[in-house]
Amino acid sequence: MRFYSITFIILLFVGSVSYATPGSGEWENLFNGKDLSGWKQLNGKAKYEVVNGEIVGTTVANTPNSFLATEKDYGDFVLELELLVDDNMNSGIQFRSESTPEYNNGRVHGYQCEVDPSPRAWSAGIYDEARRGWLYPCTYNPEGGKAFKNGEWNKYRIECIGPNIRTWLNGVPVAYLIDDMTPKGFIALQVHAIGKDGIPGSQIRWRNIRIKTKNLKPSPMDNIFVVNLIPNNLSETEKKEGWELLFDGETTKGWKSANSDKFPATGWEVKDGVLSVLAHHKDSLARGGDIVTTEKFKAFSLQFEFRLTEGANSGVKYEIGNNGPSIGLEYQILADTHADATKGVVGNRTIASLYDLIPSEKNGRFIRKVGEWNQGRIIVYPDNRVEHWLNGMKVVEYVRGNNIYKALVARSKYAGYKDFGMVEETPVLLQDHCDNVSFRSIKIKKLD
């Protein structure tokens, strides 16, 4: 009887140890630690080899970005891996990515989780390789990217469930993107190209690469900003965080003319989930005029997407009411090649500027072309700090009502307006400047 009990305990122990071995259960190892079985190299000629149970990627001269890609595609999954990278090197982890003859002669494109050991510290942000550029730079969550440890092994976690894409770096949440452009694709390890003056031989190492594709459950919510690129959509996370849609994608509910209690009968249209002001002559009877929200707001964070046509001009206004129905602070919307963008002072009429007051400090890399969608954001804090954002970059920052603000107003076209921009609550205004400009995904969060 005693022998049976001891034997049972030994078998139970052995069974439990066997179940816990790496790669068993729901996790699958993508790298066997011995060779590159299950992987293929795409695009560039960087060197990939297995050394001491690690995949080692080494930069070489005169070659484009290189990718070591899985032969299998993955849709919903949780991916975990560890990496160690030289400080002078940039890299990334591709996921839900593709390489097809029809797209740029087979160039790898798709989502990339950034590896960035530079002082910029955007590691685990989300980039769209060879397609849309940055989708979730760490400007949205600066503390997340700072979790990267230079000269040490870093653990990455990427969670893709439906359109929800989330990343963690050394256990710290970094990015939360909602997007449905590419539902599945391969996973790839990037060795970035080096410039003509770059020195070959920099290395990145990967190990403990594993994936889970079954019985997936979303990780608990964390308090980081959500970038939702599905038009006119509010995720459950955004709802819980207090976001509300100002445009439902189908009707003009919640909007009216700035000059009456009704929505304009002409000049604006809702079509295919887009709210557009139509092009017309400024004296035309078809002109609808500016529109405003029926609700007013105090402190708030406002998000919106806008799309320009060639030569178009518009704006999103706020802090309106004490000097007329359309007079207020303006987030400028136009291409910087527009004639009006060259007027004003030191570029204070360029895209995303505080119109005629403060120029936007932007990088051309973060401005979409005419005809493409841009993401705008205006934040009015309870203490009167205000920010303008464009495609993930903060481009304007000021304090409403302080002495610098008053000096700027005094030398602007608004100098004659009393207490300009100093109302306690405001509607949101979309400007009719007689040009065709489109808006969607307009959402707001009230700030305490």
**Per CATH, is 231-446 categorized as 3.40.605.10?**
no
291 forms beta bridges with 257, 430
Round to whole Å and give the CA distance between 410 and 416: 8
Round to whole Å and give the CA distance between 115 and 237: 26
The CATH number that domain 26-212 falls under is: 2.60.120.560
- Whether 9 shows a pLDDT value over 60: the answer reads no
Q: What is the DSSP letter of 251?
A: -
- Whether 244 shows a pLDDT value over 90: the answer reads yes
Q: In the chain, where does the domain assigned CATH 2.60.120.560 lie? A: 26-212, 231-446
Residue 94 contacts residue 188 (beta carbons within 8 Å): yes
Residue 216 contacts residue 78 (beta carbons within 8 Å): yes
pLDDT tens readout for residues 99-121: 999 999 999 999 999 999 999 99
Phi, psi of 158 (to 5 degrees): -120, 125
pLDDT tens readout for residues 177-193: 999 999 999 999 999 99
Using a 10 angstrom Cβ sphere, with 0-12 exposed, 13-18 middle and 19 or more buried, the burial of residue 213 is middle
Query: In sequence order, what are the residues at sequence separation of 6 or more whose Cβ sits closer than 8 angstroms to the Cβ of residue 320?
Result: 292, 326, 327, 328, 423, 426, 427, 429
| Chain mean pLDDT for the chain | 93
Residue 127 is inside which H or E element, if any?
A: strand 126-129
Of the candidate ranges 278-282, 379-383, 400-404, the one whose mean pLDDT is the lowest: 278-282
Question: Would the pTM count as exceeding 0.75?
Answer: yes
Mean pLDDT computed over 420-447:
97
Please provide the size of the chain in residues: 448
Alpha-helical regions (H) of 97-205: 142-145
Mean pLDDT computed over 362-378:
94
Round to whole Å and give the CA distance between 74 and 226: 23
